[in-house]
Amino acid sequence: MSRKSVANLALVVVALLMPAAARGNEYYLHVYMMCAINTIAAVSLRSIAKTGQMSIGQAGFMAVGAYASSILATKMNLPVYWAMLMGGFASMLLAALIGFPLSRIRTVYFVTVTMFLGEIIRLVAFEWRSVTGGSTGLESIPPPAAFSMGILHVNFANRIYFCYLALFVLLFVILILYNIERSHAGTVLSAIGQEESLSASVGINVASYKVLILCVGCFFTGLAGSLYAHYMTVLNPDAFSIFTSLYVLIYVVVGGRAFAGPIVGAVILTLIPEIFAALKEYQPFVFVLILFLVVFLLPGGLTDLPRRIRESAGRTSAGEAG
């Protein structure tokens, strides 16, 4: 096995062991859960943004997933596992509906459209009291049903099982998106992101590919929203503000272009506010500092750091070359 595969496997094992190690510590488990949810959203956004579709409206898609899933589970008594999947599909449906018109819009305008879309979704959730509970939102959202497998008794009243559910969803999302990236489709998507007009001129159906990855990404984003809703058991529109969307984008940008980028970005930037919580209202300064450091010094993101170090080490040891 290559060094990289061993490293990745080790990380997965660590991720699997952490909730068990934190058993009983509600706070650590909560942070783990939020890391997982944020990472799902970040990984999805990166895949979408690779085609040039930089979205600052992902909170809107999470909201669609969260509300759809919660409403189906509470008002229609749909089993929660199905409700969460439906939440993902609801989000994907929205992406499919607006995807084609959106695919024709240039970057700056695209960013702005997604901002307004996210706001519209939040305002609708705020206004549509009969369905979404308005500003007070929904409560008593049920967790997934408990089950037993041999000696394993899974009861979601215990947070640890939520953590594992989120982890498995995350691993599934990573598996799917990584394989898409490595496939022929992934090459096409990358080409579209780099040179859209050129891609179109060689016969690539740019719009279809863009909509496709938007739908896939938004399905997972909706799923993240559903997980959030059933985990928190209460839901209101404040959770899906423009700042939530901006944070997801920041996770991707700070993490970097590589596939591991959003994972690194989401985990680190979810942990930072917790680590520096003692700073209270000064805590966002740490965030901002990291953001500016990355933008100015490390444009490739945190995952670019090893390469940068290797390069400068290579330069100093090689000395003056011809």
Residues in touch with other proteins (CB under 8 A): 54, 101-102, 104-109, 111-113, 115-117, 119-120, 123-124, 126-127, 242, 246, 249-250, 253, 281-282, 284-285, 287-288, 291-292, 295-296, 299
In the complex with other proteins, the residue whose CB is nearer, 172 or 292, is 292
For residue 211, the Cα-to-chain-centroid distance in whole angstroms is 18
- The strand pair at 152-154 and 147-149 is best described as antiparallel
Beta strands in the chain (DSSP E): 147-149, 152-154
Rounded least distance, CB 127 to other proteins, Å: 4
Rounded least distance, CB 258 to other proteins, Å: 16
What is the Cα–Cα distance from 176 to 152, expressed in whole angstroms? 27
Element (H, E) at 50: none
In the complex with other proteins, the residue whose CB is nearer, 15 or 196, is 196
In the complex with other proteins, the residue whose CB is nearer, 168 or 292, is 292
Between the alpha carbon of residue 280 and those of residues 26, 32, 276, 283, the distances in Å are 20, 20, 8, 5
Contacts of 153 (CB under 8 A, 6+ apart): 146
What is the Cα–Cα distance from 132 to 134, expressed in whole angstroms? 5
Helices 206-232, 159-182: axis angle to 10 degrees equals 170
Rounded least distance, CB 255 to other proteins, Å: 12
Rounded least distance, CB 306 to other proteins, Å: 22
Rounded least distance, CB 124 to other proteins, Å: 6
Closest CA to 144 of 64, 220, 231, 62: 231
In the complex with other proteins, the residue whose CB is nearer, 82 or 116, is 116
In the complex with other proteins, the residue whose CB is nearer, 116 or 147, is 116
